[in-house]
Amino acid sequence: MGKLQARWGILFALPAILGFLIWNLGPMIASFVISFTNWSIAGRPSFINFENYKKIFDDFVFKKSLSVTFYYAVGSVFVGLVVALFWALLLNRNIIGQALFRTAFFLPAITPAIASSMIWLWLFNPTFGLLNSILDTLGLPPLEWIYNEKQVIPSFILMSIWGVGYTITIFLAGLQGIPQHLYEAVEIDGGSWWDKFRHVTVPMISPVIFFNLVMGLIGALQAGFAQAYIMTRGGPNYASMFYSYYVYLNAFEYGKMGYSCALSTIFSFMLFGLTILVFKTSPYWVYYEALRK
């Protein structure tokens, strides 16, 4: 049986092993190699050593796009975590109509990016959009939203908070896994809801917070293509030049394959480093029940 299992095991896993080599490892190495060439979409490539990397460090748009992307990622992930946890805490109570509320919070998350970009483009419209008319009703001055250099990223963060449905669902499951007797213990000691939240809820769901943080950061750092492509074209004045959109522009609009590969190589190192950093620091703030037992 052992030998038979081994043979079937490899056969069954073969698609993924080949896929890993052909669609992941191969392209990754290729991207690294291409980043040292001046490959343009039409011409023949030749090696130019570190020329692309040198150019990148003088590239104003690269720096701008990096800061814009991190601004968006940090903002949308942190605000998103807080908002999602808030809704999950409320939904976790014994409430009537829970299914209705859950569905309402989840629907934006399954809306295709192309459609949500269209909706928000129309909501953000400075003259006829809903958001400015709400501000007007409240007696507040109108905003320019995605058409203003300073407001464009906060606007996109707002839009991302509308789509936190997946995060809410995962938080909710984590909250449902907390044993009730821990809360009762706090109650007996005369603790308030804040004590319960601080000393039971947060430590017990810290692995879930961690999971959402890591996945959220990895996702958000790569996000923004649809928004930039449909809503702002990276503007105004590069203020929404998301990294993924800048890589796309270089490769497929300017035809600079080599330069674009250098951009994405730098980006993968950063993403990789960040993930390691988050994992290394996690023992200091994530509580794993299994490890303490």
Partner 1 sequence: MELKERTSRKLENTIVYAFLFIGLIVYILPFAWLVRSSFMDISQIFIQPPEWIPKPFQWQNYPKALTAMPFFRYLINTLIILISVEFGTLLTSSTVAFSFSRLKWRGRDIFFFLILTTLMIPYTVILIPTFLLWKYLGGINTFLPLTVPAWFGGGAFNIFLLRQFFSTIPYELDEAAYLDGATPWQVLWKITVPLSKPGLITVGVFTFMGVWGDLLGPIVYLNDSSKYTLAVGLTTFMSAYTTQWNYLMAASTAIIVPPIVLYFIGQRFFVEGIVLTGLREG
CB of 57 to partner 1, least distance (A): 19
CB of 111 to partner 1, least distance (A): 6
* DSSP class per residue in 146-212: GGSTTTHHHHHHHHHHHT-HHHHHHHHHHHHTS-HHHHHHHHHTT--HHHHIIIIIHHHHHHHHHHH
The SS3 assignment for 73 reads: helix
Give the gyration radius of the chain's Cα atoms: 24
Among 13, 82, 140, 277, binds partner 1 (CB under 8 A): 13
Distance, CA of 245 to CA of 65 (rounded, Å): 9
Among 84, 153, 213, 226, binds partner 1 (CB under 8 A): 226
Q: Tell which positions 112-151 bind partner 1, by CB under 8 A.
A: 112-116, 118-120, 122-123, 127-128, 130, 133, 136-137
Q: Answer yes or no whether residue 5 interacts with partner 1 by CB under 8 A.
A: yes
Site stretch for partner 1 (CB under 8 A), options 46-54, 55-63, 143-151, 270-278: 270-278
Q: Answer yes or no whether residue 82 interacts with partner 1 by CB under 8 A.
A: no
CB of 58 to partner 1, least distance (A): 21
Among 106, 147, 238, 287, binds partner 1 (CB under 8 A): 106
CB of 274 to partner 1, least distance (A): 10
How close are the terminal C-alpha atoms of the chain, in Å? 37
Q: Answer yes or no whether residue 95 interacts with partner 1 by CB under 8 A.
A: yes
CB of 292 to partner 1, least distance (A): 15
Which one, 95 or 150, has the nearer CB to partner 1? 95
Distance, CA of 171 to CA of 2 (rounded, Å): 41
Q: Which residue has the tokens 């809801």?
A: 193
Site stretch for partner 1 (CB under 8 A), options 50-58, 59-67, 73-81, 173-181: 173-181
CB of 148 to partner 1, least distance (A): 20
The answer to whether 48 and 38 are in contact (CB under 8 A) is yes
Which one, 53 or 225, has the nearer CB to partner 1? 225
Q: Answer yes or no whether residue 160 interacts with partner 1 by CB under 8 A.
A: no
Distance, CA of 250 to CA of 257 (rounded, Å): 7
Q: Answer yes or no whether residue 31 interacts with partner 1 by CB under 8 A.
A: yes
Distance, CA of 194 to CA of 63 (rounded, Å): 42
Q: Answer yes or no whether residue 49 interacts with partner 1 by CB under 8 A.
A: no
Closest CA to 62 of 274, 229, 270, 273: 270
Which one, 46 or 268, has the nearer CB to partner 1? 268
- Please state, in angstroms and as integers, the Cα–Cα distance from residue 25 to each residue in 19, 115, 188, following that order: 9, 33, 56
* DSSP class per residue in 130-146: HHHHHHHHTTPPP--GG
Q: Tell which positions 229-258 bind partner 1, by CB under 8 A.
A: 229-230, 243-244, 247-248, 251-252, 257
Q: Answer yes or no whether residue 37 interacts with partner 1 by CB under 8 A.
A: no
List Cβ neighbours of 148 (8 Å cut-off, separation of 6 or more): 236
CB of 167 to partner 1, least distance (A): 9
Distance, CA of 127 to CA of 142 (rounded, Å): 9
CB of 210 to partner 1, least distance (A): 11
